[in-house]
Amino acid sequence: MRTFYLTGLLIILSTGSFLNGRTEPVNTCTGPADKLTQEAPVLNQQRPETKKHLVFPLPLQNRSDSSDSANTSALTHSGETVTEQWPFPCNRDSIKRYTAYYTPAAPTIDGQLDEKAWDKVPRSPRFVDLVSGAETIHKTRAAVLWDDQNLYVAFWHEEPFVQGSMTERNAPLYQENNAEVFIAGKDAYYEFEINTLGTRYEAFFIWEEAYETGGFNANPAFQRSNPLVKEFNGVGFDTHPRGLRLGSWDFYFPGLQSGVYVDGTLNDNSDRDRGWTVELAFPWDGMKWLAKADQRALPPDDKDTWRIDFSRFNPYKEAPPADDSGGWTWSPHGVWDSHIPECFPFITFSRDTL
């Protein structure tokens, strides 16, 4: 629930009409720009040889064969395989699965999601509460597309009163309306957040046990001497089997594009909004540090499976008796913590087109 990145911000106010007669949909598009120096926020390729149908990351395989019970997992650290009780707070039998289809036509990253590809693509189930898995008061869905250049992600947020105030990069966006994406590699994972104004937050987390053996210490953005690199042990789940992580708030995803579109009047509670949408493009070339450890293909091979998380955070909670933590997600984690890659949905990449 935190993140960091380079920004170039363009805000376009366009005119349109909606169910209640309002105008002023806000379209915020963000592309790569010059790197900014900021203080760290306070914390609370070689392609696989002819391997197909690979599931990444490889250390903790979530096997579905009948010989593997729901409460055990295969750990393959350092090439050694042992069987343990499932040590994570999410229900491993309930982790969501999704097929990401190939798109022959790249979408325009403006946040409006008006291309035919987004009309055809299957959307996620309605997001549920991050902790309890309970139904949420407003609808949220996500979808994924890809081509040989980028991973594309879309969010649809139902929100009657769209709010946004933070404009500084790496501000604590998780304290207001935001959308989040986590992309897991074998020995590291990347976090991205964006709010209704298009402000970004990025961080890159490396499992400490793999920090030197994986060569991460060679990158200045990840070096311990960097003031934007801090030890991190999760948020609500501090007993992860892999232990500590090093978090870098000095990582800027190369070539990342983002767009936000507000269907309503931002920061105006005198009327009722429809919501807001997000459109993202993550270049495969920017994922080399994620792919390095298991040498996964970039772009993925047909039927490769990655672990990617999608969530939404809000500054409010539904009134009791609703079981609302304020964090909503595609696949629940069972605890107030987004930093558990083993609980991320399984995203399988298909070369098929829609």
For β-strands 188-195 and 346-350, DSSP reports them as: unpaired
Q: How far apart are CA 26 and CA 260, in angstroms?
A: 8
Mean pLDDT of 235-247: 97
What is the reported pLDDT for 269?
94
What residues are paired with 306 via a beta bridge?
A: 347
What is the reported pLDDT for 353?
97
Q: May I ask the CATH architecture of the domain 13-33+54-64+72-350?
A: Sandwich (2.60)
pLDDT at residue 94 greater than cutoff 70: yes
Mean pLDDT of 146-160: 99
Long-range contacts of 102-106, Cβ-Cβ distance < 8 Å, separation of 24 or more: 102/145, 102/146, 102/147, 102/349, 102/350, 102/351, 102/352, 102/353, 103/145, 103/146, 103/147, 103/152, 103/353, 103/354, 104/147, 104/353, 106/147, 106/149, 106/150, 106/152, 106/281
Mean pLDDT of 260-266: 98
Q: pTM of the entire structure?
A: 0.82
Residues of the chain above pLDDT 70, percent: 77
Q: Write down the H helix ranges in the chain.
A: 116-120, 288-291
Q: How far apart are CA 258 and CA 167, in angstroms?
A: 15
Q: Pick the more confident residue, 96 or 82.
A: 96
pLDDT at residue 55 greater than cutoff 80: no
pLDDT at residue 58 greater than cutoff 90: no
Q: Pick the more confident residue, 258 or 8.
A: 258
What is the reported pLDDT for 4?
36
Mean pLDDT of 54-77: 45
What is the reported pLDDT for 315?
86
Least confident of 79-93, 282-296, 306-320: 79-93
Q: How confident is the model at residue 66 (pLDDT cuts 50, 70, 90)?
A: very low
